Amino acid sequence: MKNKNTTWTTRILIFLIASGILLPMVHKDPYFLHICIIIFIWSILTFGIRIVLITGHLNAAQGGFLGMGAYFSAILTMKLGWSFWISLPASGLAVAILAMIVGYPILRVKGAYFVMITFGITEVFRQIWMMWKDMFGGPQGLFGVPKPSPIDIAGLHISFSSKMPFYYLALVVLLFTVLVMRRLDNSRLGITLRSLPQSEMLSESIGIPILLYKLIAFVIGAFFAGLAGSLWAHYFTYASPDDFNWTNSLFMLMYAVIGGTQTVLGPILGCMLLLSLDEVLIEFQEYTPIVLGLILIFILFYLPGGLISLPQKMGSLLKWRKK
């Protein structure tokens, strides 16, 4: 049963990757590419919130980590003159180190208190960006973040002035995220992390240092938020404090829960469907939160495993009918 599921997940993943690579060759509309890039960046973020979510913690600081990644990358390229290709991993690492410092004291706290603390952390970050004008540009943020510098791969000169190369860049980073997360899921770390919310007491009693494991999940999540932030800053060419507030964490949570947290497909599916829905409903923009909220309520009631569990649910329903 489990093996069957994993082979299906692999098949769907390969299909998604293949269509991700081929689609822009058929459909070159820049607006379409823009939506895809947004979906890719949000998927990376959603993966980051999911890895903490499976330990039973809702990390509302993810929105703040996204912003920190964007600002770090902007500062590294604009003020220190680093190349984007170095500042992308560097901002991921910087945010991971930040998460390590922040996470150590706060990961002892559970449930609603953890949500409130991480929510507070995002707000503290936002205040820092607003107040520290010399470094972070104050309320209007940092403008003129350069596009990624051109590179030569296998004799091809790739410049990032158009959307297409950035599409592939975001896709590569997303693929990297998916690969890492998938390996984590099947490894001892993933299994242990998923066991934590079931009984922390039991885990502690058989020698699992739960604080360390939670910290590892938190830091990995923050690392990917940092990467996403860097992509964000260099795609939109600015980093502004208004973009990085705690509601971002809520949206990530919604995408993860609606898509399903069981497999790595969930976050991708959630981001794809809901962000496309956002675009479809763009005429009725002020009403989209209502639609999203209704979808969330429906999913929580009838599909607690998220959209990814739909085929399974349908299967068991059909069996039940036959009986």
**CB contact at 8 A, 226 and 95:** yes
The smaller minimum CB distance to another protein, of residues 204 and 242, is found at: 204
- Shortest Cβ 87–another protein spacing (Å): 25
Provide the 8-state DSSP code for 158: E
CA dist., res. 275 & res. 312, Å (int)? 24
Task: Find the shortest distance in angstroms from Cβ 186 to another protein.
Answer: 8
124 forms bridges with which residues in the sheet? none
224 vs 232, beta carbon nearer another protein? 224
Residue among 252, 241, 245 nearest 71 (CA)? 241
At 54, which amino acid appears? I
Contacts of 131 (CB under 8 A, 6+ apart): 138
**Shortest CB 180 distance to another protein, Å:** 8
C-beta closer to another protein: residue 75 or 217: 217
Cα angle, residue 169 at apex, residues 168 and 175 outer, rounded to 5°: 85
Q: How far is the CB of 115 from another protein (least distance, A)?
A: 22
Instruction: Sort strands 142-143 and 238-239 into parallel, antiparallel or unpaired.
Output: antiparallel
Span 181-240, contacts to another protein by CB under 8 A: 183-184, 187-189, 191-192, 195, 198-199, 201-210, 216
Distance CA 102, CA 149 (A): 33
Rule CB under 8 A: say whether 80 interacts with another protein.
Answer: no
Shortest separation between residue 282's beta carbon and another protein, angstroms: 40
What string of H, E and C letters represents the secondary structure of 200-230? HHHHHHCCCCHHHHHHHHHHHHHHHHHHHHH
Q: Considering beta carbons, is residue 14 or 191 the nearer one to another protein?
A: 191
Please count the residues of this chain forming the interface with another protein, following the rule CB under 8 A.
21
For the bound state, the minimum distance from the C-beta of residue 261 to another protein, rounded and expressed in Å, comes to 13
> Quick one: 101 or 206, whose CB is closer to another protein?
206
Q: Which residue has the tokens 């790595």?
A: 264
- The answer to whether 145 contacts another protein (rule: CB under 8 A) is no
In whole angstroms, the minimum distance from the beta carbon of 184 to another protein comes to 7
Residues 270, 307: contact at Cβ < 8 Å? Answer: yes
**Does 3 contact another protein by CB under 8 A?**
no
Tokens of 265: 């497909």
- Tell me if 75 contacts another protein by CB under 8 A: no
| Nearer CB in complex with another protein: 19/187 | 187
Residue with smaller CB distance to another protein, 112 or 206: 206
Q: Compute the distance between CA of residue 128 and CA of residue 146 in angstroms, rounded to an integer.
A: 23
Please report, as ranges, the residues that interact with another protein according to CB under 8 A.
Answer: 183-184, 187-189, 191-192, 195, 198-199, 201-210, 216
